[in-house]
């Protein structure tokens, strides 16, 4: 069926026909946020599944208001903001530890452009058949930033710090260059590092976070964690839905090793324990308190939203 344009009055009428209570503010919110973002993104916990099946279109549970759905939308936006802020700290951590460890083992000028500075195909922790292509792409990316070659990226060569080193010293140290790389770039750089260097990264991440004892992070586990953290970072940056995040299962995360215990029953809370391994104890406490306070505030303010947040409240022990 063709999806034709519906004006705001029609959108409100559709919601009312489907059993949702609206008020004078509904039209304004739909104009500001968009019907698709609010309703299509957050309606599911509020649907009457039996009535929906009979009607062959959405039917909302009795008593559901537009404000209920919009409250869940706002909760998720705040959850993304909290999560994103802490992920940025992890990104900075990885930039520092990866560049420090690589440069310690490869002190020659621009050794990051030497293929021999990286692991072999046999030691590659991603798909081995992609090693040559990934290595070519990584070196080409580093070279484009170091030389100021624009290529396909209009942002390459624009960083003032990189230009300063390039103009004054005729080369750019890796720790300066890393500020131009994305979190996704860092994931591939880590995967291409040699095994002893990856093991050193695992130890140093734990040390940099002020954690005591031996690091529970493994070289394969850290690669998995980076993959997941970058995925969640992109969810936050692009305003995708986070509150019902599932991510990888426990079976998919076996490479992390046995050092870190994770909550179960709520995908986001499980991810929280992954993220916590890359934060200082103080930042971990702050993150968990922020999430707990956010959940408690929204769950206590609206019984309908409390139902949607049940995996959070039960996982966090909020009565």
Q: Looking at residues 12-34, what average pLDDT do you find?
A: 98
Interval 158-180 mean pLDDT: 80
Q: Does pLDDT of 257 surpass 50? A: no
* pLDDT at residue 247, rounded to an integer: 86
Predicted confidence band at 150 (pLDDT cuts at 50, 70, 90)?
low
**Residue 67: its pLDDT value, please?**
97
Q: Most distant CA pair in the chain: distance in Å?
A: 72
Q: pLDDT tens digits for 188-218? A: 999 999 999 999 999 999 999 999 999 999 9
What pLDDT, on the 0 to 100 scale, is given for residue 261? 38
Confidence at 149, pLDDT banded by 50, 70, 90: low
Least Cα distance to 187 among 237, 231, 155 occurs for 231
Write down the mean pLDDT value for the chain: 91
Query: Quick check: pTM over 0.85?
Result: yes
Spell out a b/e string for 76-106, using b for 16 or more CB atoms within 10 Å of the CB, else e: beebbebbeebbebbbebbbebbbbbbeeeb
pLDDT of residue 170: 74
Positive or negative, the CA dihedral 277, 283, 286, 290 is: negative
When pLDDT is averaged across residues 156-164 and rounded to a whole number, the result is 65
Q: Which helix (H) or strand (E) holds 81?
A: helix 66-105
- Rounded mean pLDDT, 71-85: 98
């Amino acid at each position: 069926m063709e999806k034709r344009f519906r004006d705001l009055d029609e959108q409100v009428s559709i919601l009312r026909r489907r059993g949702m209570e609206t008020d004078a503010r509904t039209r304004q919110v739909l104009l500001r946020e968009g019907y698709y973002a609010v309703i299509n993104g957050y309606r599911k916990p509020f649907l009457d599944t039996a009535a929906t099946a009979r009607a062959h279109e959405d039917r909302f549970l009795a008593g559901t208001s537009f404000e209920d759905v919009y409250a869940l939308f706002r909760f998720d936006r705040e959850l993304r903001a909290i999560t994103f802020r802490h992920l940025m700290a992890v990104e900075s951590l990885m930039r520092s530890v990866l560049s420090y460890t690589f440069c310690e083992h490869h002190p020659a000028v621009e050794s990051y452009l030497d293929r021999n500075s990286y692991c072999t195909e046999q030691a590659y922790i991603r798909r081995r058949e992609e090693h040559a292509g990934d290595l070519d792409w990584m070196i080409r990316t580093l070279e484009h930033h170091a030389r100021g070659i624009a290529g396909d990226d209009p942002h390459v060569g624009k960083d003032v710090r990189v230009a300063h080193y390039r103009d004054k010293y005729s080369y750019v140290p890796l720790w300066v260059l890393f500020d131009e790389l994305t979190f996704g770039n860092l994931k591939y750089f880590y995967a291409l590092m040699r095994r002893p260097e990856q093991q050193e990264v695992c130890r140093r991440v734990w040390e940099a976070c002020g954690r005591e004892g031996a690091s529970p992070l493994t070289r394969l586990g850290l690669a998995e964690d980076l993959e997941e953290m970058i995925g969640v970072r992109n969810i936050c940056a692009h305003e995708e839905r986070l509150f019902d995040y599932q991510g990888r299962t426990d079976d998919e995360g076996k490479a992390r090793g046995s050092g870190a215990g994770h909550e179960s029953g709520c995908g986001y809370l499980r991810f929280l324990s992954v993220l916590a391994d890359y934060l200082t104890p103080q930042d971990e406490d702050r993150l968990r308190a922020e999430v707990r306070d956010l959940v408690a505030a929204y769950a206590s303010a609206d019984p309908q939203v409390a139902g949607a947040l049940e995996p959070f409240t039960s996982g966090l022990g909020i009565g």
